[in-house]
Amino acid sequence: MVSEESPLLATTAYVYDRFTPDQKRWIVFLVSFAGFLPTFVSSTFVPSIPQIAKDLDSTHAVVSLTVSLSILASAIGALVWAAHSSFYGRRLIYLWGIPFLCVGSCGVALSNSLQSLFFWRFVQTFGCAGGMSLGAGVIGDIYKLEERGTAIGVFFGATLLGYAVAPFLGGAATQYWSWRSLHYSIGAWGLLEMLLLYLSFPETSHPGTLGIDKVTRRKWIHISWVNPLSSLWLLRSPNLFAVMFASSLVLISDFVLLVPLAYTIGVRYGITNEAIIGACFLPNGLGNFIGAPIAGRQSDTVLRRWREKRKGVWCPEDRLRATWIGGLFMVPLSIGASGLITTYVGGPIGLALNLLCLFTNGLGVDFVVNPIGSYNVDVVHSRSAEVTAAYMASRSLMISAATALVIPSIERIGVAWTNIIAALLAVIGQGLIFLTIRYGDSMRASVDVGFSTTENN
């Protein structure tokens, strides 16, 4: 193991000093602004489904298919933009993706048929899908190993704010404004983001690491084939697959609480106004917003503490030790309690306790998901955007399949048992994280996908 004082590490550390602290904070603001868009676009749509169905003379069930289509578009878009960012650079891919969002948003707003709505919704979601994976890659580009968790925590906190405010704004737009005007405003927002990125966002990829840097005979406009599915091949590594699967099992609890909210908390406590139902999403999003930076800082603290115990030796899986409080306590207890409260406690007390459970669940999910996101960037640092995209795309597909079963499960076995099953799944996910911490070295050695070392991290 190369020591911290070696010339090699001093040279490697230079790439993290290219930007001043103020420049880094501005970059984090820009990528957080871009990362906020996909969460906002996805979460504002659900409350507007009844009005869209009425305007297009369709049914709620048919219009709801756009949610599954959006998840598919997000998965494909994340893979496409991340793979191309490793070849062409972060800045260029941001500027390529956002026009799809702008055009797609206007297309959604102008849609007068289901076919048109499905097509433009796919384009809209595809365009902004790179916000999360590219943002994680950018932070991996500019922050050192021991600072990375905190920065990613701030980034995730800002982006997850979309889940807090978007349902309320989407519900309010449905109730008092127009869903078409909402999507026009999203398109205008995309134009503003593109202008900010064009004027003030630098290329953050490390010098000489891009695929296009290795092309010897380059044209003025050089287009190369980049396989977007190559990112998924990273998940053949047991440790990367295990943390992705564990993250999915924990995140399912979020969707079990939020997807049927109108049918559980709404029906149980007599809430029919879309704006008020949207406001019930706020505690969970607020928990995400508060929990992400705390979880990020905690994961950095845990990593540094264990590195000191190992006398300077870095073990990537040490960061995952920060997940215990969220995965073993906050997530399973909050979702299990919510199911029991909804079933047995009525009135304002039951509603207040449910909102507290939503807040606690938002906090707990961050204490699991944030360290895992930072861990992925740590162990495959040279392909940080790609591993984040593969992780998010696979996780999205798993969650979309699971959420399709939530309402049928509630109808068949009830809210309490459905939530208890979700709590048990979260505990199983934490078990996978425990195995990854315990056997991380051997798991990485079994399938090497180009893991990072202290020298190149």
Percentage of the chain lying above the pLDDT 90 cut: 32
pLDDT tops 50 at residue 3:
no
| Residues making up the chain, counted from first to last | 457
For range 366-394, the mean pLDDT:
87
Band of the pLDDT at 249, cuts 50, 70, 90? very high
Band of the pLDDT at 331, cuts 50, 70, 90? very high
| 171 vs 190, residue with greater confidence | 190
| 277 vs 224, residue with greater confidence | 277
pLDDT in the model for residue 206: 77
Per the CB < 8 A criterion, the answer to whether 40 and 32 are in contact is no
Give pTM, 2 decimals.
0.79
For range 418-443, the mean pLDDT:
94
* Rounded Cα distance, 242 and 162, in Å: 27
pLDDT tops 50 at residue 7:
no
Of 323, 140, 147, nearest to 243 by C-alpha is: 323
Least confident of 6-20, 202-216, 234-248, 266-280: 6-20
pLDDT tops 70 at residue 201:
yes
pLDDT in the model for residue 280: 82
* Rounded Cα distance, 300 and 139, in Å: 14
pLDDT in the model for residue 10: 42
What mean pLDDT is reported for the chain? 84
pLDDT tops 80 at residue 252:
yes
pLDDT tops 90 at residue 57:
no
For range 406-426, the mean pLDDT:
91
Band of the pLDDT at 296, cuts 50, 70, 90? confident
pLDDT in the model for residue 211: 62
| 321 vs 87, residue with greater confidence | 321
pLDDT in the model for residue 4: 38
Contacts of 450 (CB under 8 A, 6+ apart): 380, 382, 383
Least confident of 26-30, 124-128, 227-231: 227-231
Q: What angle do CA 177, 183, 185 make, to 5 degrees?
A: 80
For range 285-304, the mean pLDDT:
88
For range 8-35, the mean pLDDT:
78
**Which domains are seen in the chain, by residue range?**
22-203+229-446 (1.20.1250.20)
| 71 vs 219, residue with greater confidence | 71
Environment class of residue 196 by beta-carbon count within 10 Å: exposed (0-12), middle (13-18) or buried (19+)?
middle
pLDDT tops 60 at residue 227:
yes
pLDDT tops 80 at residue 1:
no
Least confident of 316-325, 340-349, 381-390: 381-390
* pLDDT tens by residue, 283-292: 888 888 888 8
Band of the pLDDT at 59, cuts 50, 70, 90? confident
For range 10-35, the mean pLDDT:
81
DSSP, collapsed to helix, strand or coil, labels residue 259 as coil
pLDDT tops 90 at residue 455:
no
For range 250-262, the mean pLDDT:
85
pLDDT in the model for residue 8: 39
Instruction: Tell me the two tokens of residue 238.
Output: 């047991």
Least confident of 8-12, 86-90, 113-117, 191-195: 8-12
Of 52, 25, 28, nearest to 274 by C-alpha is: 52
Distances (CA, A) of 28 to 19, 36, 111, 203: 12, 12, 35, 13
